[in-house]
Amino acid sequence: MFYKNKKFYAVVLSFMLSLCIGVSSTTLAKDNKKAETCTPPVAQTVAQTNVTFAKPLQIVQNPSRFLNQDVKMNATFDKFSTLGLDYKKALRESKDYIGFLIQRDDVQDHNVPLSEMKLFLKREYAEKFIDLDTGDRIEITGHVFSNALGDAWVDVNNITVLKKAKAEETTKK
């Protein structure tokens, strides 16, 4: 039968590996060589803290690679949102959490939210950041807890404001 064919499984496995590590499936199937693992050039793991530094788009492009890992990324805040709340397969209840969106960093001429990444804050922690504005640069530390719907779902543990988009206006008397 077709599904009992070892060559079929070898081709399927090589295709899956090529998606995960960027090696051509035809090269793997023909050469039958051990695939070289490669990590994206920007993502790196820091051993002492077990936090993976990555760009948001790297996480979105391969959420399975970052699943169950702590991640740190720099991003541009877009807005608070209810996107993804109360979805049963990656449940974060709206009574306990608030979501927020960051902007895509591959679009420069206008603001486009990165809706493929679901970011969640506990409500009491989110209250500390009520003054965040669209365009503020932030550093996010969190844990990728799900890849439901092919998206990255992240519990945010820490936010650091790196740069405010609008400088604080001082009133002159």
pLDDT at residue 85 in the model = 96
**pLDDT tens digits along 93-141:** 999 999 999 999 998 888 899 999 999 999 999 999 999 999 999 999 9
CB atoms within 10 A of CB 109: 5
pTM, two decimal places: 0.68
pLDDT at residue 90 in the model = 96
Domain 44-163 of CATH type 3.40.47.10:
no
pLDDT at residue 168 in the model = 55
pLDDT at residue 49 in the model = 64
pLDDT at residue 3 in the model = 47
Closest CA to 168 of 133, 129, 139: 133
pLDDT in 10s for each residue of the chain, 173 residues? 444 555 554 544 444 444 444 433 333 333 333 333 333 333 444 444 699 999 999 999 999 999 999 999 999 999 999 999 999 999 999 999 999 999 999 988 888 999 999 999 999 999 999 999 999 999 999 999 999 999 999 999 999 999 998 865 444 44
